[in-house]
Amino acid sequence: MSPDLALSLGPLHVEQVYEQVARRIMQDIRAGLLAPGQRLPSERELARQMEVGRSSVREAIGVLQVDEIVETRPGSGSFVALDAPERLRAEPSNVLLTHDASPFAVLEAREAFEPAITRLAAMRRRPDTFAERLLNDMERLSDPANPEERGIWSDADRLFHRQIGAMTGNPVVVALYDQVAEIMNQPLWRRLRDDSLAEPGRMQIHIAEHRMIYEAVTEGDLDAAELYARLHIRRVRRYMGLADRTRADE
């Protein structure tokens, strides 16, 4: 193998399902099958047509919103942006290059390991001033329609879960939570999380769950800490519309 050929090779990226769905929608826009201003089929219909789960469709719509290819109007649905064809022609190679982690995959992994790690934190039974400050920050914010408040709340949320990992005192756990916190700062995650928090009352429910998790950890209640963490993640998955990967009949 020549040196030039070796240098031209790099790691392969295996597209996630949501990326494949987003790419198909972009192809239809380029081909004129979806016109500027046209309403997209419902998530259920897109999932049926593409034979994928609605979670993947929701993630695909989210990343297209981030790239301003699609815009969503509350109560009306998702529409092709008026300048979407021009955007795709001007920067055809830049869309989907970020390869954000699938929020579904993040939550699936968190549900697998986070309850056990929260139980481990409860074994240490120690208060944490930074976690308490993050809880106070979340509790004083109550308007999900305010972008500034929503941004502060989202940062406090991801750092709170990272801090629960830090309360185990285990550096390997801390490194794992650092990676999760970084993923939860990606544009696709933030977009879907913002959509979830826009529903009245949801922010307050999450705040209450965070408080229950923290108190169970500091009181050394292992079973409660594990249970509250599991129930919280399951609720987040439901609210974000990422509860499972079933087909269009979910």
Tens digits of residue pLDDT in 19-56: 888 889 988 888 888 899 999 999 899 999 989 988 88
b/e map 33-54, b = 16+ CB within 10 Å: ebeeeeebbebeebbbebebbb
Question: Would you tell me the crossing angle of helices 129-139 and 202-218 to the nearest 10 degrees?
Answer: 160
- Let me know whether 32 and 129 are in one domain: no
- Let me know whether 221 and 107 are in one domain: yes
Indicate if the pLDDT at residue 249 is higher than 80.
no
Our count of domains for the chain comes to 2
- Let me know whether 60 and 126 are in one domain: no
- Let me know whether 139 and 234 are in one domain: yes
Rounded Cα distance between 223 and 159, Å, is: 23
- Let me know whether 113 and 229 are in one domain: yes
Indicate if the pLDDT at residue 236 is higher than 70.
yes
Q: Could you give the count of Cα atoms lying within 13 Å of 199 in the half-sphere of its Cβ?
A: 12
Rounded Cα distance between 63 and 60, Å, is: 5
Residue 73: which H helix or E strand, with range?
strand 70-73
- Let me know whether 74 and 114 are in one domain: no
Q: Could you give the count of Cα atoms lying within 13 Å of 35 in the half-sphere of its Cβ?
A: 1
Indicate if the pLDDT at residue 4 is higher than 80.
no
Rounded Cα distance between 117 and 132, Å, is: 18
The answer to whether residues 69 and 87 touch, using CB atoms and an 8 Å cutoff, is yes
Domain, as residue range, for 20: 14-90
Tell me how far the alpha carbon of residue 52 is from its chain's centroid.
Answer: 18
- Let me know whether 121 and 191 are in one domain: yes
- Let me know whether 84 and 118 are in one domain: no
- Let me know whether 111 and 189 are in one domain: yes
Indicate if the pLDDT at residue 244 is higher than 70.
no
Indicate if the pLDDT at residue 7 is higher than 70.
no
Tell me how far the alpha carbon of residue 49 is from its chain's centroid.
Answer: 24
Tell me how far the alpha carbon of residue 10 is from its chain's centroid.
Answer: 28
Indicate if the pLDDT at residue 91 is higher than 90.
no
